Structure 1
Amino acid sequence: MTAEKETYLDPFFTAEEKDELEAGISGVIERIERKSRDKEEIRLCLKDCTGILSGEETMNGGGIYELGRVTVIFKELPGSVPQAAEGRRVQVRCRLAAMEEPRNPGQFDSRGYYRALGISYFAYGENLEEISGSCDILRVSMRKLREWMAENLERAAGGQDAGLFRAMVLGEKWAAEEETRNLYQNAGIGHLFAISGLHISLAGMGIYRILRKGMKRSFSVAALGCAGASYCYYLMTGEGTSAGRAFLMLSVYGAGQVFGRQYDLSSGAAFAALLLLVRSPLLLFQSGFQLSFGSVLALGSLHPCLQSIFQKESRTSRAKEKEKGSKKWRRKLLMALLPGLAIQLATIPVQAASFYQIPVFGLLLNLLLLPLFPVIAFSGIFGAFLGGLFPQITRTILFPARFLLRIYASACSWSLRLPGSIWRTGRPENWQLLLYGVLLAALLCFGKRGAETRRTAWRRTVRRRTVRIGIWIVPFCLMPLPWRGLELVFLDVGQGDGCFIQIPHGPTFLIDGGSSSEKEIGKYCLIPFLDSYAVDKVDYVMVSHGDEDHINGIRELIEEKRIANLILPEGQEKEQEALGGMKNRAEQLGIPVQYLKQGEILHAGEASLACLWPEGGGGDADSGLDSNEASMVLWFSYRKLDVLFTGDLEGAGEEGVKRYLEKWGGGKEKKIDVLKAAHHGSQNACSEELLREINPLYTVISCGRGNRYGHPAKETLQRLEAVRSRVFRTDKDGAVTVRSDGVSVKIQKTK
């Protein structure tokens, strides 16, 4: 075909306002893998892909498009999938999916993450139409070996322990329970699930020592064996970034042994980083790459600096012998802590910028638990090879490792129960990250220079103590900055509602939080957002009514105990069953539940929240209303700024609000600055009479992209245009952030 080729299909997704496009693609299978416990789901990682869009003759004249790498997910296995193998070319009929850019603060950037790995698109496969070419024997062998080892571990260990062994030894993170992964991550030992230098060295250096000493082979043979074993393990475990770094560095070490050169850790890391970045330059901005290489560079460069600062002056051998036992052990403990401290200092900015929190006791846990990990790794490898042949014997071999896994879980749980176990930093500003690096470098140079120059004893002591104290102070420059003004964030939750309010020097509010189009909106949107704002608990969560697209994310926050107070519309928990269930669960977890009704005002410093609806207290106006008509309506005021939240208000509820506004305002118009449009901008929401009454300067409509309800309705947009209200839509603009000093208003779109 002679059609002109293009690089990406992103313009088509934008033009069509679609998340998926029907396509036929052709590519070479690079890997076949599973990423979930669903045995029917399989992923084909294709490289050198080209694609044709279905029905594209109506768009730009058609063409073949170069797609790079594409991961094709098959939910149900077609009969031809078992014939697929690494190295073979396939043609796939699929639905090509656009990768999501973050639409909310704190949200995971899946597009940036996967593009850094060289993956351009995900696709949902429907059929494999053609398979041709020869297979890559090495990759096929490594995949089958991994599958065989995984089956053996399931036979020998079974259950949760088998999943942990598969994650820690075979790189199958998905095999471990999500709760356990989160436990390890929050406690600061989540790196054990990443195949890295510790794992690669067990495989590569094990072969090296066997060939070099056991079989008395030459350096060349031993180095080749080491590199070969490391590369096979790298392929078998999924070709992760940290595993690739470890393989390349170990290969450099082997080459140094062959040519009689001394190995330098930092130089080896720099060489590995260069090779990986040549293949995929965007890896530089991936947190996994930064953490992996940051840790190695910390050991190669930062650790020697800390040693020179913390160790005392050299003494005679007789003085060392006279050193008391307690002092000797304290010094040894300090020296043992320094490598972990170096890694912690180097990776704190990455953790704060990527995960918005730092495990405070991670350093201590790593010191205690990391030396025991080789027992788990070796036991897992033995179990993976012997589990199918001698399951009973293998269970005995695995017993110490399984016992250690219990200790790991208990230690993590214990550390997280301690006060201040997690320091939520939020997303630091770029200048804060730069300041941290400059201060740390200056501090270390100051201390190292003092250790190397000949000065009087008291000056050296002052320098050392200054650095020792400064090391613990510098991380505080990453602390969240105090709020200087009011901030409201209308979150893009898809087809749903959610608005976060931060009052200067005051409490935080969340008004609604749910979605009918996005799964687990609390886990993937609300909680990451709160973490990025360094909010441990929302002070007040207010629920307008009991529809799922307003509350299912709040349920998740309740389960995670991220709520301090829950506020419901008075008199509605009996009418709306969902509100009653939420109230009961919150009370079970010790979360206070309060109620608001018409006329009540919640004060918070210079801000206030007045409830305009429902009437509450068993009033006649509330009887016979559906959940939308009974939505809690809130008037938020901060100095001269006014914002109206209307939930899904329609019909009789809107009439009740208009009557109350006339009574409240004494017949005068109540103009507002920002309106949160009712019911996602549906046809029956935001009547002309109400809009004339409140005359909003700005209107925010929360709705999902391509929703089946047709929100926002054209009629509603026309009514808003008639009152000259500027409209922002979360389906087009992502999260909408309103900042104000109480007088002026600035609005920022995420997209």
Structure 2
Amino acid sequence: MSDVLLLDVGHGNCTVVQGGGMVAVIDAPIGSALLDTLDELGVTHVEHALISHADADHIQGILALLTSRRFTVGSLYVNPDRDRNTTAWRDLIHAVSVAERTGAFTPHTSLNTASPGVLHIGDMTLTVASPSAALALSAVKGLAPNGGINTANTLSAVIKVERAPGVGLLLAGDLDGVGLADVQATGVDVRASALVYPHHGGLPGSAQAGAFGKALLQLVAPVQVFVSNGRNKHSNPRPEVVSTILDHGCGLACTQLAKSCGDPASADHLEKWPAAGREQLHSCAGTISLRLDPAGATRDAEREGEFRSFVGSKVSSPMCRRTRH
């Protein structure tokens, strides 16, 4: 059984964590992949649902989980965003209002290093590495403690998933340069053997992509980097981001095939789990299952071999094979 599933949801993020018979969900974009995956896992109860921030590609699907008759949710964690005025955000506020009256789930309006700080899913630990309490207090559009003006991405929660220290998976959400500076200043330990790269491999706000990527990779020191991207959205991952990752010596896998990598080719190599890009052959690695053990965050060797064979023989110009060396 996998410990972590990185779902192919197209442009967005969604992660399912399993441990000791318990399940957590981190981010939920629109689409059926999350609920279909929970069904296939035989899950009926999600202990914790965490929403990194209020952007649609992280939050738009959470209402379907919270209101589904097929599943129950124990707790929801999300940071406030006073300037957010989207339909998805208003619907979430309404769902929280209903939950306060009915007890359907327990809402927590903070997701930072102090509150809740750490959550447990069986023998798995979810640690909030960013934002710090001080950064969260400075709010969207406020002045960050270490300089810079906050955006919603600055306050995007960064979650470390691990069973043993330093060898887990870091989910970087949409961390930007101001948020990264706060991580550096607080000295929080973000080392992990695998990293889900922020911004779906896109540009990190006003920060320079290369400098931002180098600083992040030096802090995390991952062996493997994953990009949760959509083939038809924003041309992610960006070539300069890919170059930074490869220059650092990391392995790289994207959930969907970037347009610059070539035309869709096959779905034969994909894992059994739901993948938004499967039908149109948009998936590259597709949904990725990982085990977290003393060797790090690892994929089944056979599945990894099939994926690498696909990249080597079915993709005409894969960016993950390019390097300046």
TM-score, normalised to structure 1, is 0.32
Which residue does 1:722 correspond to in 2? 247
How far, CA to CA, are the matches of 1:603 and 1:527 in structure 2?
Answer: 22
Which residue does 2:25 correspond to in 1? 510
The superposition leaves residues 508-539 of structure 1 with CA deviations (integer Å, 9 ceiling, x where unpaired) of 11111104xxxxx0xx3221111100011221
Which residue does 2:266 correspond to in 1? none
Which residue does 2:12 correspond to in 1? 496
Match of 1:655 among 168, 181, 184: 181
How far, CA to CA, are the matches of 1:613 and 1:569 in structure 2?
Answer: 13
Aligned partner letter, 1:715: E
Match of 1:564 among 53, 64, 73: 73
Which residue does 2:268 correspond to in 1? none
Which residue does 2:286 correspond to in 1? 734
How far, CA to CA, are the matches of 1:604 and 1:554 in structure 2?
Answer: 19
The superposition leaves residues 363-409 of structure 1 with CA deviations (integer Å, 9 ceiling, x where unpaired) of xxxxxxxxxxxxxxxxxxxxxxxxxxxxxxxxxxxxxxxxxxxxxxx
Which residue does 1:699 correspond to in 2? 225
How far, CA to CA, are the matches of 1:744 and 1:614 in structure 2?
Answer: 25
Match of 1:672 among 183, 192, 200: 192
How far, CA to CA, are the matches of 2:176 and 2:111 in structure 1?
Answer: 19
Change (3 A) 1:569 1:746: same
How far, CA to CA, are the matches of 1:575 and 1:603 in structure 2?
Answer: 31
Change (3 A) 1:574 1:616: farther
User: How far is the alpha carbon of 1:553 from its aligned partner?
Assistant: 1.5
Which residue does 1:588 correspond to in 2? 98
Which residue does 2:127 correspond to in 1? 610
In 1, are the aligned partners of 2:194 and 2:297 still within 8 Å (CA)?
A: no
Which residue does 2:235 correspond to in 1? 710
Which residue does 1:198 correspond to in 2? none
How far, CA to CA, are the matches of 2:113 and 2:131 in structure 1?
Answer: 6
Aligned partner letter, 1:584: H
How far, CA to CA, are the matches of 1:740 and 1:547 in structure 2?
Answer: 28
Aligned partner letter, 2:98: Q
How far, CA to CA, are the matches of 1:489 and 1:656 in structure 2?
Answer: 28
Root-mean-square deviation (Å): 2.4
How do 1:42-81 residues align onto structure 2 when only pairs under 5 Å count?
Answer: none
User: How far is the alpha carbon of 1:568 from its aligned partner?
Assistant: 2.9
Aligned partner letter, 1:681: G
- Partner secondary structure for residue 564 of structure 1: strand
5+ residue gaps, structure 1: 1-482, 516-520
Which residue does 1:619 correspond to in 2? 137
How far, CA to CA, are the matches of 2:179 and 2:139 in structure 1?
Answer: 9
- Partner secondary structure for residue 17 of structure 2: strand
In 2, are the aligned partners of 1:543 and 1:568 still within 8 Å (CA)?
A: yes
User: How far is the alpha carbon of 1:580 from its aligned partner?
Assistant: 5.8
How far, CA to CA, are the matches of 1:540 and 1:646 in structure 2?
Answer: 18
In 2, are the aligned partners of 1:587 and 1:593 still within 8 Å (CA)?
A: no
In 2, are the aligned partners of 1:507 and 1:604 still within 8 Å (CA)?
A: yes
The superposition leaves residues 281-309 of structure 1 with CA deviations (integer Å, 9 ceiling, x where unpaired) of xxxxxxxxxxxxxxxxxxxxxxxxxxxxx
Aligned partner letter, 2:23: T
How far, CA to CA, are the matches of 1:574 and 1:742 in structure 2?
Answer: 41
Aligned partner letter, 1:632: A
Aligned partner letter, 2:214: E
In 2, are the aligned partners of 1:555 and 1:582 still within 8 Å (CA)?
A: yes
Number of aligned residues: 251
User: How far is the alpha carbon of 1:506 from its aligned partner?
Assistant: 4.0
Please state if 1:542 is matched with 2:50.
yes
How far, CA to CA, are the matches of 2:10 and 2:122 in structure 1?
Answer: 32
User: How far is the alpha carbon of 1:587 from its aligned partner?
Assistant: 4.1
Higher relative contact order (CA 8 A, sep 6+): 2
User: How far is the alpha carbon of 1:584 from its aligned partner?
Assistant: 3.2
In 1, are the aligned partners of 2:16 and 2:26 still within 8 Å (CA)?
A: yes
Change (3 A) 1:681 1:584: same
In 2, are the aligned partners of 1:597 and 1:613 still within 8 Å (CA)?
A: yes
How far, CA to CA, are the matches of 2:91 and 2:59 in structure 1?
Answer: 11
How far, CA to CA, are the matches of 1:550 and 1:488 in structure 2?
Answer: 17
User: How far is the alpha carbon of 1:551 from its aligned partner?
Assistant: 1.3
Task: Give the share of equivalent positions with the same residue, in percent.
Answer: 23
In 1, are the aligned partners of 2:48 and 2:77 still within 8 Å (CA)?
A: no
User: How far is the alpha carbon of 1:652 from its aligned partner?
Assistant: 0.9
Change (3 A) 1:548 1:620: closer
In 1, are the aligned partners of 2:139 and 2:155 still within 8 Å (CA)?
A: no
How far, CA to CA, are the matches of 1:744 and 1:643 in structure 2?
Answer: 8
TM-score, normalised to structure 2, is 0.70
How do 1:75-474 residues align onto structure 2 when only pairs under 5 Å count?
Answer: none
Aligned partner letter, 2:224: Y
How far, CA to CA, are the matches of 2:105 and 2:94 in structure 1?
Answer: 10
More helix by share: 1
- Partner secondary structure for residue 162 of structure 2: strand
Which residue does 1:636 correspond to in 2? 161
- Partner secondary structure for residue 61 of structure 2: helix
How far, CA to CA, are the matches of 2:218 and 2:296 in structure 1?
Answer: 22
Structure with greater Cα Rg: 1
Which residue does 1:533 correspond to in 2? 41
